Amino acid sequence: MKKNLLILFLIFLMFGCKKDENEPIVNISLEPYIKNLILPDTKPPYNGNYYIHVDFRNLSTSEKNELTFSIMNQNITPWYTPSDAGLGMSIQGVIFSDSETSEQLEISFYFNTNIDKTFNICYANYFFSDPWRNVAGANIHYFKPVNNSDPSTKYMYLGTNSSKSYFEITYIGYNRLNGIFHTTWKECCGGGNTYDVSGDFSIPDIRYFYK
């Protein structure tokens, strides 16, 4: 009887101390703009033309729209060197602009120059940045003219954080960053439309001059 109890105790001890496969091996102190680290995608990476693709749905009317801006059809402006974005933050990223519609799609990375001298771009899921609230992170911006007669005046939509939002860098290669995102677009100055947004991108590696 005692032998059987000892065996049961050893079995319980063995399984009770078994390490959870999902448990992190070490505790890593993440930057404040990173939600969590991710593993690199095992699929062969996309290495074609630089682009940003967005699917967005109006949450009030359910109207769906789609935009794909690429280096083949739009102008591209990479910001390799962080520049002052005002509001105490620096910005670097890539802008795609359409000369016909005056629309813009922008992948941007904001960080606080008083805290971080070099923004860390790695395989990670980033918080969506908010330069007005001094929140560092990544973002997908959409600029749309208010009306055709004055294309210089634009609505500015920014991605926002939620429990379902993500902005993941899925590939880092020679002069290339690939990623995917899901968020809610809200107009920064109080516009009435709000959109559910998902998409993907392949842009120049803006870390290039720091290698």
User: Per-residue pLDDT tens for 21-46?
Assistant: 333 333 467 888 999 999 998 889 99
Given a cut of 90, whether residue 134 has pLDDT beyond it is no
Residue 135 has pLDDT above 70, yes or no: yes
Q: What distance in Å separates the CA atoms of residue 28 and residue 50, rounded to the nearest whole number? A: 32
Interior CA angle at 175 toward 79 and 118, to 5°? 50
* Burial bucket for residue 52 (CB in 10 Å: 0-12, 13-18, 19+): buried
- Per-residue pLDDT tens digits for 159-209: 999 999 999 999 999 889 999 999 999 988 767 789 999 999 999 999 855
* pLDDT at residue 132 tops 80: yes
pTM score of the predicted model: 0.82
pLDDT of residue 105 exceeding 80:
yes
Does the pLDDT value for residue 65 go beyond 70? Answer: yes
Q: What is the DSSP string of 71-102?
A: TTTSEEEEEEEEEEEETTEEEEEEEEE-TTT-
CA distances from 75 to 78, 109, 204, 210 (A): 10, 19, 13, 24
Q: Name the E strands within the chain.
A: 34-37, 51-58, 64-70, 75-86, 89-97, 104-112, 124-126, 137-145, 154-160, 166-173, 176-187, 194-203
| pLDDT on residue 85 | 65
